[in-house]
Amino acid sequence: MSLQRWLGLGFASLVLALFTLAAQAQNPNVVRIGVANGGVGTPPRTGGSTVGIVNAQGLLEKEFERDGIQVQWIFFKGAGPAVNEALVNKQLDFAWQGDLPSIVHRAGGVKTKIIVGSGVRNGLYLGVPPDSTVTRLEDLKGKRVAVFKGTNLHLAAVRALAAKGLKETDLKLINLDTAGAQAALATKDIDAAFGYVELFSLREKGAAKVVWSAAQDSYRFTRQTVLLVTDDFAQRHPQVVQRVVNTVVKAARAYSDEQQRGELFAQWGKAELPERFWREDFIGQPLRVRLSPLLDPFLVARYKDAAAEAHALKLTRSVPEIDSWFDRRYLDVALKELKLEGYWPEYAADGELAGSKLAAAR
């Protein structure tokens, strides 16, 4: 072999090696995802969202296996506030979190981007002791009412109370996490508790009754959750972010099919709560509405409302800017690549749909 050819091959090998190293440098060793829920089991899993499905089925682990990228799921019993602490300490790359804690960290200067919806229009319920005379929100004046402050339950509850003419000061709001609220309700140490489908467990035991549902009252009182990514991670690993969003969107599409309704609830039923509770929570609601990944005007409007409400309640020192927080680039690419543009119904800020889209959603 001539010296010239030998040098040429050597140069080509060097270039290939450099490209390989550069590609490897673009990938992180681990992707850390925080979940604002304690989960259940070993490893923990949670129901109620497409992120929960992605976790339970190991979809991201499969996606990144060929790249040697580890996926680390971190569940937080302290919910959204605990996730915020981890974000501040730069211990997470992604976070699945509700609207209020997300707004708190944004108002505090933590740099994140909202990249895909996962858990929009989530329910909110009011539970009371079995012998209670409370039958509606208006009856709560002067009562001891539990709510998990700092979570998206908090703002949704305050918003619903305000619509009925009640301020937070008109009640004795007590800060209790999910387990604490259930225990206090069962022992009648409180008069009522705002919660989610976990209240159905107490109802089945005869320890409580559920007297109000946000879904049956107004969409404005539902709760919103999304998947966020830190600005730093997105800047360093945009292709990884894209693959994460693609995976979530694929899961949302798979289970937005009404023929998968039974399988969806069976999957969630392997987590904290029985599948029959999820079936009840979703009564009358199309899967394409509840499992929508869209970052539509409805979702943006809910976050703007929540930001103003959080400031009014003195939970934040300022009202953070919202519009640029929503980064639709990854979702737009996913919808186009997967040929899903127009599949999920898009809601306007007022929660209404065009007639043709409404019919399709139903």
Listed residue (297, 323, 322) closest to 308, CA to CA: 322
pLDDT reported for residue 26: 79
Q: Are 57 and 266 in contact (CB under 8 A)?
A: no
Tokens linked to 140: 């709560």
pLDDT reported for residue 218: 86
Three-state SS for 295? coil
pLDDT reported for residue 4: 54
Listed residue (114, 51, 32, 115) closest to 320, CA to CA: 114
Backbone phi and psi for residue 34, each to the nearest 5 degrees, phi listed first: -90, 135
Domain with residues 125-221, CATH architecture = 3-Layer(aba) Sandwich (3.40)
Tokens linked to 349: 């800020």
pLDDT reported for residue 353: 80
What CATH code is assigned to 26-121+224-361? 3.40.190.10
Over the Cα atoms of the chain, what is R_g? 23
Q: Are 140 and 161 in contact (CB under 8 A)?
A: yes
Strands (DSSP E) contained in the chain are 30-35, 70-75, 94-98, 112-117, 125-128, 144-147, 172-175, 192-195, 209-213, 225-230
Domain with CATH 3.40.190.10 in the chain: 26-121+224-361, 125-221
What residues does 116 pair with on adjacent strands? 227
d(CA 202, CA 335) in angstroms, rounded, equals: 40
d(CA 192, CA 207) in angstroms, rounded, equals: 12
Q: pLDDT digit of tens for each residue in the chain (362 aa)?
A: 554 554 454 554 444 344 444 444 579 999 999 999 988 888 889 999 999 999 999 999 999 999 999 999 999 999 999 999 999 999 999 999 999 999 999 999 999 999 999 989 898 999 999 999 999 999 999 999 999 998 888 999 999 999 999 998 999 999 999 899 999 999 999 999 999 999 999 999 999 999 999 988 888 888 999 999 999 999 999 999 999 999 999 999 999 999 999 999 999 999 888 999 999 999 989 999 999 999 999 999 999 999 999 999 899 999 999 999 999 999 999 999 999 999 999 999 988 884 444 444 44
What is the distance, to the nearest Å, from the Cα of residue 328 to the centroid of all Cα atoms in its chain?
16
